Amino acid sequence: MDERDDTVETVDSVLAALSDPRRRQLLDLLAEQGEATATTLAERLPVSRQAVVKHLATLDAAGLVSVTRVGREVRYAIRTAGVNATAQWMAALADDWDRRLAKIKRVAEAAERDSRSPRHD
């Protein structure tokens, strides 16, 4: 397994990686083709190969792509696990916030009631 606390620790890098439009574009291209090299990908984009390489390195660091060397070429492919994990993390986060806010609201309302009828009248 060796998952460790990737789930929490990597969310940071996944969010950062996905926040760039060009990187999302790269992931789209990879989803289209299943596998591709930086050189090929660069041909389909208005940027240099080097720019693509850098983006792919970021995606790799975030665990969003897999890298495989075949002879003289390096093939990249999407790994959906990271995105899925982050999506779940976000959903849980929003949920947590919602619960906390609901609690705060209840407390506030209770205080409001108390201040109106101080109970020891």
Partner DNA sequence: AGATTGTGCAACAACTAGGTTGCACATCAT
Partner DNA sequence: ATGATGTGCAACCTAGTTGTTGCACAATCT
Chain residues binding DNA by CB under 7 A are 20, 22, 37-39, 46-51, 53-55, 58, 69, 71-75
Burial bucket for residue 71 (CB in 10 Å: 0-12, 13-18, 19+): exposed
Residue 120: CB minimum distance to a second copy, A: 28
Burial bucket for residue 49 (CB in 10 Å: 0-12, 13-18, 19+): middle
| Residue whose C-alpha is closest to residue 18's, from 72, 67, 89 | 89
Residue 120: CB minimum distance to DNA, A: 27
Residue 14: CB minimum distance to a second copy, A: 9
Which CB sits closer to a second copy, 47 or 81? 81
Residue 43: CB minimum distance to DNA, A: 9
DSSP helix, strand, coil percent of the chain (3-state; round to 5): 65, 10, 20
Burial bucket for residue 45 (CB in 10 Å: 0-12, 13-18, 19+): middle
Contact residues toward a second copy (CB under 8 A) are 12, 15-16, 18-19, 21, 27, 31-34, 77-78, 80, 83-84, 86-88, 90-91, 93-94, 96-98, 100-101, 104-105, 108
Q: Which does 33 bind (CB under 5 to 8 A by kind): a second copy, DNA, none?
A: a second copy
